[in-house]
Amino acid sequence: MNKAAQQSRLIDLTLDESTIGRANADVEHERAVAIFDLLEENQFSPVGHIGGKEPAEYKLRLGIIEQRLVFTITDANDGDVATHILSLTPFRSRVKEYYQICESYYEAIRSSTPSQIEAIDMARRGLHNEGSETLRDRLNGKIDIDFDTARRLFTLICVLHWRG
């Protein structure tokens, strides 16, 4: 059995449409891709929750209330596990910078040299990593996630901010 299969993980993620709402088709597609990528491979363990001897499986519902990101976590049988509320303020500048660099990257693909494109892509990945670390820091003591899961969750946070 591989290491990922031995970890507690997310098996389902839904967006609270009453607080996040639907978006245009492009945004909905990006949200679906981000959720698929996250569920495909993740390490997710609410701190203090005992899932038994076996690694536990969790469901996550994300919502936004009063500029705060709400993580509502249940177990695989929909039993309440935890709710955590994070301010979105620490992510705003990262998300904005990330979208600006992405726009530069897409423009560069059309007209720049490979070395220029690579430099922009490195900057984009750096911002994504910084946002991921910010998320891990904000979840510290609440939810244990690995860096790759933090990256996938940060991608989803970015997509939640995208209006299309």
Domain locations in the chain as residue ranges? 4-161
Of 46-55, 85-94, 136-145, least confident by mean pLDDT is: 46-55
Eight-class DSSP state of 109: H
Residue with structure tokens 């899932």? 51
Is the pLDDT assigned to residue 102 strictly greater than 90? no
Q: Report the side by side order of strands in the sheet with 57-65.
A: 9-15, 57-65, 68-75, 80-87
Is the pLDDT assigned to residue 155 strictly greater than 50? yes
Taking alpha carbons only, the member of 37, 39, 54, 41 closest to residue 4 is: 41
Question: Rounded to two decimals, what is the model's pTM?
Answer: 0.82
- DSSP letters, 40-84, are HS--EEETT----SSPPEEEEEEEEETTEEEEEEEETT--EEEEE
Is the pLDDT assigned to residue 5 strictly greater than 50? no
What is residue 38's predicted lDDT score, i.e. its pLDDT? 94
Indicate the pLDDT class of residue 131, thresholds 50, 70 and 90.
very high
- Residue 114 contacts by C-beta under 8 Å, 6 or more apart in sequence? none
What is residue 53's predicted lDDT score, i.e. its pLDDT? 56
For residue 159, give the amino acid letter: V
> What mean pLDDT is predicted for residues 53-74?
90
> What mean pLDDT is predicted for residues 15-20?
82
- DSSP letters, 19-47, are TT----HHHHHHHHHHHHHHHHS--EEET
The torsion of the CA quartet 69, 63, 44, 46, rounded to 10 degrees, works out to: 70
> What mean pLDDT is predicted for residues 19-29?
75
- List 38's β-bridge partners, or say none: none
Q: What are phi and psi of 51, to 5 degrees?
A: -95, 10
Give the mean pLDDT of the chain: 86
> What mean pLDDT is predicted for residues 80-87?
95
> What mean pLDDT is predicted for residues 138-160?
91
> What mean pLDDT is predicted for residues 35-46?
94
| Percent of the chain whose pLDDT exceeds 70 | 91
